[in-house]
A and B are shown apart, each in its own frame.
Chain A
Amino acid sequence: MNITKEKIGEFLVLTLYGRVDTNNFNELEQAIGQVFEADEKKIVLNCSGLNYISSSGLRIFLTALKKVNAMHGTLHLCSMQPVIKEIFDISGFSTIFQIFDTQKEALE
């Protein structure tokens, strides 16, 4: 997978590309860990390029959300492909994450 970072206003936007699976979930875990270390509390994960996620990847999302909530930060997800949104729906994640259709809305 590839991850790009961009600071837009108060938000740090991470855009994810490719797969997050049992083989590479630690890459996402590290990237998010660095964001927390840098004391960023407003985060957008742009999922436009994400085309595969398994439970190993979902665990990283859930762990990040728990951490963000504990430090009273904000974690917004946006631009999910329908197949990924479906996985979030059936995992019961769509009810706990704030998911926006576009990055523009996620930044508001």
Chain B
Amino acid sequence: MKEVFEIENKIEALSILAGKIEELAEKWELSMPLTMNLNLVLEEAVSNVIFYAFNDHQKHLIQISLALENKILTVEIVDDGIPFDPLSQKLPDITLPVEERPIGGLGILLILKIMDQVSYSRQNNQNRLTLVKNI
């Protein structure tokens, strides 16, 4: 089973993304916690792309594909922005006390903790982030 769709590089498009995931979850009969986690990792990954991969103030399309085969869920996010590797971001130290706890970096941390494999590549002037979860 596979679904591919595109959304615009604007924050409001995240609501469209959430709606698409709800539809897909119903069609593929995904559990409520899995649906929430899937929505979460996509929101984190796509909002990073929207915030950091474009600097030309132009409209771009971000391609999202989801596939479910043999209980392996694969998500791919492809954009034509500037090179942006979310895995190069520094992860927050979550053992620090409140006063020293950094405010940023939680998005990529959530993606890494929820998914089983996360990889980034730059090919043909495109960023490609691949997320895999065994369900």
Query: Could you tell me which A residues sit within 8 Å of B by CB distance?
Result: 19, 21-23, 51-52, 54-56, 58-59, 62-63, 65-66, 69, 82-83, 86-87, 90-92, 95-96
For residue B88, which residues in chain A have a CB less than 8 angstroms away from its CB? none
Q: Judge whether B67 is part of the interface by a CB distance below 8 angstroms.
A: no
Q: Tell me if A90 and B110 are in contact (CB < 8 A).
A: yes
Q: Judge whether B98 is part of the interface by a CB distance below 8 angstroms.
A: yes
Q: Tell me if B94 and A55 are in contact (CB < 8 A).
A: no
Q: A51, A54, A58, A65: which contacts B98 (Cβ < 8 A)?
A: A65
Q: Tell me if B110 and A52 are in contact (CB < 8 A).
A: no
For residue A95, which residues in chain B have a CB less than 8 angstroms away from its CB? 94
Give me the 6 closest cross-chain CB pairs, A-B, nearest first.
A92-B94, A55-B106, A55-B107, A90-B113, A96-B98, A54-B43
Smallest distance from the beta carbon of B34 to chain A beta carbons, Å? 10
Of A55, A58, A83, A91, most B-chain CB atoms within 10 Å = A55
Q: Determine chain B's interface SS by DSSP, over half rule.
A: helix
Q: Tell me if B109 and A52 are in contact (CB < 8 A).
A: no
Smallest distance from the beta carbon of A64 to chain B beta carbons, Å? 11
Q: Judge whether B1 is part of the interface by a CB distance below 8 angstroms.
A: no
Q: How far is the CA of A90 from the CA of B37 in the complex (A)?
A: 12
Q: How far is the CA of A92 from the CA of B40 in the complex (A)?
A: 17
For residue B47, which residues in chain A have a CB less than 8 angstroms away from its CB? 22, 54, 56
- Number of interchain pairs (Cβ within 8 Å): 66
Q: How far is the CA of A45 from the CA of B13 in the complex (A)?
A: 29
Smallest distance from the beta carbon of B17 to chain A beta carbons, Å? 10
As a 0/1 sequence over residues 97 to 113 of chain B, the CB contacts with chain A under 8 angstroms (1 = contact) are 11101011011011001
For residue A90, which residues in chain B have a CB less than 8 angstroms away from its CB? 109-110, 113-114
Q: Tell me if B14 and A83 are in contact (CB < 8 A).
A: no
For residue B109, which residues in chain A have a CB less than 8 angstroms away from its CB? 55, 90-91
Q: Tell me if B98 and A21 are in contact (CB < 8 A).
A: no
User: B81-123: which residues lie under 8 A (CB-CB) from chain A?
Assistant: 92, 94-95, 97-99, 101, 103-104, 106-107, 109-110, 113-114
Q: Tell me if B114 and A63 are in contact (CB < 8 A).
A: no
Given contacts A23-B14, A92-B92, 13 further A-B contacts (CB under 8 A): A21-B43, A23-B15, A54-B40, A54-B43, A54-B110, A59-B103, A65-B98, A83-B32, A83-B36, A86-B33, A90-B109, A92-B101, A96-B98
